[in-house]
Amino acid sequence: MPSRANARTHRLITRAALALFTGGLTLAESAHAQSVAPARFVAPAEPANARWWKGNTHTHTTNSDGDTPPEPVARWYKQHQYDFLVLSDHNVFTDPVTLASLVDSTFLLIPGEEVTTAFGAASVHINALDITRVIPAPTGRSLLETVQNTIDAIRAERAIPHINHPNFRWSIDTTVLWRMKNDRLIEIHNGHPIVHNEGGGDSQGMEDAWDALLTRGKRIFGIAVDDAHHFQGEFAPDRANPGRGWVVVRTPSLSRRAIVEALDAGHFYASNGPVLRAVRATETALTVQIQREGDFKYTTQFIGPHGRLLGTDKSLTPTYTLRGDESYVRARIIDSAGRVAWVQPVFTTRFVERHP
C-alpha cells in the first residue's frame, strides 16, 4: 500500500500535469512538482549534420594594443587549423572585408570588438561578436549599470556579448555577475598571464564563480580564449601569446550567425588542450568521447551545484548517470599535462532559472 507521502507526491504531479493543459498551474506548484520528481536532463536537440568548429573569440592586433597587424594575426590562426576567429580590438571595428583573401570554406572571420569602459578603478571589458560597426563604450552611475549598459548596447546591435576576464584588476565579482541581465557567456579561462583565472585571497576563481551563478539559477556558459597580444618574439608564460584557449562549436555550418548563435545557446565546449569527439546527453546520462592524443591519459570530473564533485571517470568515454537530485551537471576533462576541456552545463528538470 503506498505511503501517505508517496500518495501526496503522486497527486501533486498528476495535478501539475493536468494544470499544464488547463493553464491552472502556479509557478510555485510547478517548481514543487519538479522538486519531488527525479531529475531528468533537458537535452537540447542536435541539428542534423552538425559538426565541430574550432575558433577563438578574443584576440588583438596593432589596431589596439597587440604587436602584430590584422593580416598576419588572422593568418596565424588559419595556419594552426582554427576554423574561425574574432578580431576583438579595444573599441575598434576591423572589417573582415579588408582580409577577404584569407577567408574561404575552411576559415571564417567574424567581426568583433572588445567594448572597453570602466567605472572607477574597475575595468569593464565585454566582447561583441558579429558586429557591423563600432559600438561606442557606454558609461553608468555604478559598476553594475556600466556593465549592463554595455551588454544592452551590444544586444541592440543584434551582436552577442561575452564577459571578459572578470578577475582582471579584480573588477567584477559574483555579486555583479549575478545581477547582470541578458548575458549568456563568461570567460572561465583566459590565456593572458595577468587576469587571475584561479582567483586568490578572498576572490573566487572563475570556475567557482561560474558554479556559484549556475547554482543560484543563472543560465550561463563558460568560454575559453587566448586574449592574444604577442605574436612577435618569445612565446613565454609571462607573455600573452596565441593558442592558449579556444571554443569548439557544434553547428551545421561555418557561418557568422550560426557560430555566434550556437555560442549564445551553449552548443560548444571550451578547451586549452583536450579534444572531444562527442558530447551527448540522454534523459538520464551525460557521455563524453575524448580524442586521445599520443599516450596522454585523461581524468573527467563531473561537477554539479555548489561546485560539488559528483563523480570521476578515467576512461576515454566517461559517463555520468543522474542520481535524481541534480539541477545541472557539467564536465571537466583534464589531460596528463594538466590541460583542461570544459563541457557546458546540461540542465535538468530540477533547474529553475532565476533572475535578480
pLDDT of residue 29: 44
Residues 246 and 147 in one domain: yes
pLDDT of residue 45: 81
Residue 147's domain is classified under what CATH number?
A: 3.20.20.140
Residues 26 and 168 in one domain: no
How does pLDDT run across 120-156, given as a tens digit for each residue?
Answer: 999 999 999 999 999 999 999 999 999 999 999 999 9
Pick the residue with more confidence: 132 or 356? 132
pLDDT of residue 10: 42
Domain boundary among 275, 291, 308: 275
Backbone angles phi, psi at 316, to 5 degrees: -85, -5
Residues 24 and 139 in one domain: no
pLDDT of residue 329: 98
Residues 149 and 248 in one domain: yes
pLDDT-based confidence at 35, cuts 50/70/90?
Answer: low
Residues 228 and 106 in one domain: yes
Residues 29 and 66 in one domain: no
pLDDT of residue 346: 98
- Which domain covers residue 170, as residue numbers? 51-275
Residues 125 and 212 in one domain: yes
34-43, 64-73, 177-186: range with lowest mean pLDDT = 34-43
Please state whether beta strands 160-163 and 122-129 pair in parallel, antiparallel, or not at all (unpaired): antiparallel
Is residue 22 scored above 50 in pLDDT?
A: no
pLDDT-based confidence at 48, cuts 50/70/90?
Answer: confident
Residues 96 and 8 in one domain: no
17-21, 115-119, 244-248: range with lowest mean pLDDT = 17-21
Q: Where are the alpha helices (DSSP H) in 66-205?
A: 70-79, 143-156, 174-179
16-25, 111-120, 312-321: range with lowest mean pLDDT = 16-25
Kindly state whether residue 342 falls inside one of the protein's structural domains: no
Kindly state whether residue 228 falls inside one of the protein's structural domains: yes
Residues 210 and 146 in one domain: yes
Cα–Cα distances (Å) from 145 to 11, 76, 122, in that order, read: 46, 37, 12
Kindly state whether residue 339 falls inside one of the protein's structural domains: no
| pTM reported for the whole predicted model | 0.90
Q: Where are the alpha helices (DSSP H) in the chain?
A: 4-22, 27-36, 70-79, 143-156, 174-179, 206-216, 256-264
pLDDT of residue 46: 80
pLDDT-based confidence at 59, cuts 50/70/90?
Answer: very high
What is d(CA 354, CA 356) in angstroms, rounded to the nearest whole number? 7
Kindly state whether residue 352 falls inside one of the protein's structural domains: no
Domain boundary among 249, 275, 301: 275
Is residue 20 scored above 70 in pLDDT?
A: no
pLDDT-based confidence at 271, cuts 50/70/90?
Answer: very high
Residues 22 and 93 in one domain: no
Domain boundary among 275, 297, 328: 275
- State which amino acid sits at residue 312: T
Residues 21 and 80 in one domain: no
Span 42-68, average pLDDT? 94
Kindly state whether residue 247 falls inside one of the protein's structural domains: yes
Q: Are 148 and 184 in contact (CB under 8 A)?
A: no
Q: Are 90 and 64 in contact (CB under 8 A)?
A: yes
Of 122, 244, 140, 141, nearest in space to 151 by CA:
140
Per-residue HEC secondary structure of 291-336 comes to: ECCCCCCEEEEEECHHHCEEEEECCCCCEEECCCCCCEEEEEEEEC
Kindly state whether residue 212 falls inside one of the protein's structural domains: yes
pLDDT averaged over every residue in the chain: 92
Residues 263 and 227 in one domain: yes
How does pLDDT run across 209-242, given as a tens digit for each residue?
Answer: 999 999 999 999 999 999 999 999 999 999 999 9
Kindly state whether residue 285 falls inside one of the protein's structural domains: no
Task: Please give the tally of structural domains in the chain.
Answer: 2
Kindly state whether residue 128 falls inside one of the protein's structural domains: yes
| Burial environment of residue 95 by CB neighbours within 10 A (0 to 12, 13 to 18, 19 or more) | middle
